[in-house]
A and B are shown apart, each in its own frame.
Chain A
Amino acid sequence: MNNLKNFNIFIFIYNIYNTKNIYYKEDLFYFWEKNMNLDKYLSLSKKVREEILKMIFLAKSGHPGGSLSTVEIMIALYFKYLRFNAVDFFENDRDRFILSKGHVCPSQYACLALSGLIPMDELKTLRKIGSKLQGHPSYKAKLKGIEVSTGSLGQGLSIGSGMALGLKLDKKDNNIYVLLGDGELQSGQIWEAIMTSSHYKLNNLCAIIDYNNLQIDGKVSDIKSIMPIKNKFDSFNWNTIEIDGHNYAEIFSAFDRFNLKDTDRPTAIIAKTVKGKGVSFMENNPSWHGKAPNREELDLALKELENFKL
Chain B
Amino acid sequence: MENKATRVGYGEKILELGRENKNIVVLSADVTASTSSHLFAKEFPDRFFNVGISEQDLICEAAGLSLVGKIPFVSAYAVFVTGRCWDQIRNTLCYSNLNVKIIGTHSGILVGPDGATHQALEDIAIMNVIPNMKIFSPCDYIETKKVIEAISHDFGPTYVRLSREKTPVITKEKDSFTIGKANLIADGYDVTIFATGVMVGEAIKAREFLAHEHISAKIINIHTIKPIDEETIINSVMETGCSVVAEEHQILGGLGSIISQILAKNCPIPIEFVGMEDKFGESGEPFELLKKYKLDSIGLLNACKKVLKRKK
Contacts and interface: CB of A to CB of B under 8 A. Distances in A.
Given A139-B95, A188-B56, A195-B52, A162 B69 contact: no
A155 B91 contact: yes
A166 interface: yes
B64 A149 contact: no
Interface string A199-219: 010000000000000000000
Interface in A148-175: 148-149, 151-152, 154-155, 158-167, 169-170
A162 B61 contact: yes
Contact residues of B: prevailing secondary structure: helix
Contact of B91 (A151, A161, A167): A151
B52 A161 contact: no
B27 to A, nearest CB: 9
A155 B60 contact: yes
B92 A189 contact: no
Interface in B36-80: 46-47, 49, 51-52, 54, 56-57, 59-70, 72
Q: How large is the interface on A (under 10, 10 to 19, 20 to 34, 35 or more residues)?
A: 20 to 34
Contacts of B59: 158
B87 interface: yes
B97 interface: yes
Contacts of A237: none
B261 interface: no
A140 B57 contact: no
Given A140-B95, A155-B91, A200 B49 contact: yes
A167 B68 contact: yes
A218 B67 CA distance: 35
Contact of B57 (A138, A164, A166, A192): A192
B300 to A, nearest CB: 41
A147 interface: yes
A165 B65 contact: yes
A148 B67 contact: yes
Given A149-B95, A149-B96, A159-B63, A169 B25 contact: yes
Nearest to B72: A162
Interface string A48-74: 000000000000000000000000000
Given A169-B47, A193-B57, A155 B88 contact: yes
Interface of B: 25, 46-47, 49, 51-52, 54, 56-57, 59-70, 72, 87-88, 90-92, 95-98
Given A155-B60, A158-B56, A162-B60, 6 more contacts: A149-B95, A154-B56, A162-B66, A165-B61, A188-B56, A189-B88
19 contacts: A96-B67, A139-B96, A152-B91, A155-B88, A158-B64, A159-B63, A160-B64, A162-B60, A162-B64, A165-B61, A166-B65, A166-B67, A169-B47, A169-B70, A188-B56, A189-B60, A189-B88, A193-B57, A200-B49
